[in-house]
Amino acid sequence: MKFAIMEIPQMLDRSVFTASKVVFALALWSAGLSGQTLQNTGATAAVEARALVRLIPALGYGQNSWSILRLANRSASVKTVGVEVFRQNGERLPIGPEVRLNPNDSIDLRIEAPANNEETCWAAITEYSNTTSPEVSVRGFVE
């Protein structure tokens, strides 16, 4: 960040000008901090988590069919993943919004809704993790 240096007219009281410079500098400094991210501070590096979103397209449901989302936690810690399922018209189905998985545990989520005809849907699974690779495996299929 650069500061403009201005010449002080001799008739101004230097103490007032100095106080004004300090207030101005603090205002610029605090404005610069407001745009700073947590990862740049260094103090919160241990808490930084990445969001990994996986989309499962081409699922479906109907009168005699449904889809299954199988989530499996392959890590040694408890995981909470976000689950959102959307109909083909974009309407959200009442599944989720979060699922908690114990270590080495798996769960099957059945996607079904009243429908006169076969309808397609898709799912978005969000995993928050400190690692770069997924720790929860996701599989979707139609039955």
Categorize the per-residue pLDDT at 12 as very low, low, confident or very high, splitting at 50, 70 and 90: very low
Please report, for the chain, the start and end positions of each structural domain, with discontinuous segments joined by +.
Answer: 12-47, 50-142
> For 50-142, which CATH class?
mainly beta
Residue 41 has pLDDT above 70, yes or no: no
Share of the chain above pLDDT 70, in %: 66
| Dist CA 105 CA 127 (whole Å) | 15
Which of residues 36 and 78 earns the better pLDDT score? 78
Determine the 3-state secondary structure of 26 from DSSP.
helix
Whole-angstrom CA distances from 84 to 7, 87, 96 are: 60, 10, 6
For residue 115 the two structure tokens come to: 């429908």
Q: How large is the C-alpha radius of gyration of the chain?
A: 27
Residue 85 has pLDDT above 60, yes or no: yes
Over residues 39-47, mean pLDDT: 45
What is the reported pTM? 0.64
What pLDDT does 72 receive? 98
Whether 119 and 77 have beta carbons less than 8 Å apart is answered as no
Categorize the per-residue pLDDT at 96 as very low, low, confident or very high, splitting at 50, 70 and 90: confident
What pLDDT does 20 receive? 43
What amino acid is encoded at 45 in this protein? A
Tens-place pLDDT, residues 110-128:
999 888 899 999 999 999 8
